[in-house]
Amino acid sequence: VDDMVAEDIERFENSFVGINKRYRIINRIGEGTFSTVYKAEDLEYYKYNNRWDIDERERGKWTSPAKVKRSSRRPHYVAIKKIYVTSSPIRIFNELELLFDLKNSDSVCPLITAFRHQDQVVAVLPYFQHQDFRDYYKDMKVSEMRLYMKSLFTALRAVHNRKILHRDVKPTNFLYNKWQNRGVLVDFGLAEREGTEWQQCNCTLPADERRYRVAHSIYAQNQQAGHQTTSYPKNDTRSSRRANRAGTRGFRAPEVLLKCTQQTTIIDMWSAGVILLTLLTRRFPFFHSADDIDALLEITTIFGRRKMKEAALLHGQVFETNIPSYSEHGHSLEKIILWCTGRTDTDKNAPKKELDDEEKEAVAFLYKLLECDPARRITADEALRHPFLTKSYE
């Protein structure tokens, strides 16, 4: 733990009075735009017998922690998510409520409890041992990709069955333990139920901006209520500001980028497709777009103008570009994977380089995920029944 982190931990412990009576904070494990996550030891785990965690459920032998002998007690770790005070109370409540709703699905990191001290809310989750995506995406075998995707779709099926859109599916929000071939979905900060009120009224704003807007307007209200002399303009014509959600934009489905008003759980399947594309091309992040238009253009590079025009029409939008480098029909995913993995022919006489059979199967599956028309995209349940995931290769 370096000095900066130690200082941050100390500041947190001092500001959240009483937190260190219950938890010993060990390290900072995540720092994002909307929260900081700490690894901590639950000092009172064995005092409560209604506490469970993922490993206990996994082993299937479920003994009341209170009955565990003192000598065989192992330390119990949790992840403490400190949600930034700029997040709107509705958003915080939403995240906690959805997590609570999903508490019985094995593949979603369950909420143990949550605390509030003044304006600070923390969520406590079981600590899930996992590897950093950057440490394994470059050398994952196709057989390992199958297991990864299977685990991801098991999680998504559970979420989607409850009509919840995760909205932020990406490697840092799917904690994967490759020794157990098992992962859990985290971060329901942008998640919402299908057909949610704010989805309908604010549908033209991408999720992160929406979150930022809510926070921003609350901040403005607070400022007005306070002694600040600057007043907030009634009709704010400034374009909404973007919160920096690096890496997320590249995972957005075309219908999200096209600001479709009826978004469903199927948007998450596109994001899962981007993860598989990342694994197959060994490029992370695969897309680097600076904004939504850029993101649409990156997709156009692959799928071509014609598909994008069709996709736009589905949502009552017109897609036009005068950039000559985008081809009408785009490029095949096979070709893109060959390019990205350096298997292109420079010598015309050399034998044509091809994907191996397993990769070809992966690509066939990938086409079902990266389907621009949401109505034709594969669901999590269908994905789990797809030969790519059901076939056994041992």
Active site residues: 168
C-beta of 147: minimal distance to ligand ADP in Å?
Answer: 20
How far is residue 175 from each of residues 12, 94, 285, 388, measured CA to CA in Å? 24, 21, 17, 22
35 binds ligand ADP, rule: CB under 6 A: yes
Residue 52 and residue 123: Cα distance in Å, rounded? 16
Task: Select from 289, 266, 285 the least CA-distant residue to 274.
Answer: 285
Cβ nearer to ligand ADP, comparing 54 with 145 = 54
189 binds ligand ADP, rule: CB under 6 A: yes
Q: Across the chain, how many H-helices and E-strands are there?
A: 15, 9
**Exposure of 351 in the CB half-sphere (CA atoms within 13 A):** 2
C-beta of 122: minimal distance to ligand ADP in Å?
Answer: 12
Tell me how many residues contact ligand ADP (CB under 6 A). 19
The torsion angles phi and psi of 116, rounded to 5 degrees, stand at: -130, 135
Angle between helices 207-225 and 89-101 (to 10 degrees): 140
Among 12, 16, 23, 34, binds ligand ADP (CB under 6 A): 34
Cβ nearer to ligand ADP, comparing 128 with 319 = 128
Cβ nearer to ligand ADP, comparing 171 with 254 = 171
Q: Encoding tokens for residue 272? A: 């899962």
Going residue by residue from 28 to 57, which x/- string records binding to Mg ion, judged by CB under 5 A?
------------------------------
- Which range binds Mg ion by CB under 5 A, 144-152, 167-175, 290-298, 308-316? 167-175
Put residue 377 in one of left, alpha, beta given phi > 0 → left and psi -120 to 50 → alpha.
beta
251 binds ligand ADP, rule: CB under 6 A: no
Residue 233 and residue 212: Cα distance in Å, rounded? 17
185 binds ligand ADP, rule: CB under 6 A: no
Among 122, 156, 175, 369, binds ligand ADP (CB under 6 A): 175
- Which range binds ligand ADP by CB under 6 A, 34-42, 57-65, 159-167, 362-370? 34-42
Residue 289 and residue 119: Cα distance in Å, rounded? 34
Cβ nearer to ligand ADP, comparing 124 with 311 = 124
Cα angle value 158/162/166 (rounded, 5°): 70
- Encode burial over 6-16: b for 16+ CB neighbours within 10 A, e otherwise: eebbeebbeeb
285 binds ligand ADP, rule: CB under 6 A: no
Q: Are strands 77-83 and 113-117 parallel, antiparallel or unpaired?
A: unpaired
- What kind and span of H or E run contains 272? helix 267-281
CB atoms closer than 10 angstroms to residue 311: 25
Q: Encoding tokens for residue 321? A: 């570009």
Contacts of 321 (CB under 8 A, 6+ apart): 297, 300, 305
Residues in 186-245 that interact with Mg ion by CB under 5 A: 187
3-class secondary-structure state, position 163: coil
Cβ nearer to ligand ADP, comparing 110 with 254 = 110
Q: Which does 268 bind (CB under 5 to 8 A by kind): ligand ADP, Mg ion, none?
A: none
Cβ nearer to ligand ADP, comparing 34 with 303 = 34
Among 88, 105, 154, 173, binds Mg ion (CB under 5 A): 173
C-beta of 38: minimal distance to ligand ADP in Å?
Answer: 9
54 binds ligand ADP, rule: CB under 6 A: no
Going residue by residue from 116 to 135, which x/- string records binding to ligand ADP, judged by CB under 6 A?
---------xxxx-------
187 binds ligand ADP, rule: CB under 6 A: yes
Task: Select the residue whose beta carbon is closest to ligand ADP and give its number.
Answer: 30
Among 87, 107, 173, 199, binds ligand ADP (CB under 6 A): 173
Cβ nearer to ligand ADP, comparing 35 with 88 = 35
Cβ nearer to ligand ADP, comparing 23 with 127 = 127
Task: Select from 72, 120, 122, 131 the least CA-distant residue to 112.
Answer: 122
Contact residues for ligand ADP, defined by CB under 6 A = 29-30, 32, 34-35, 37, 79, 81, 109, 125-128, 172-173, 175, 186-187, 189
The residues that touch Mg ion, with contacts defined as CB under 5 A, are 173, 187
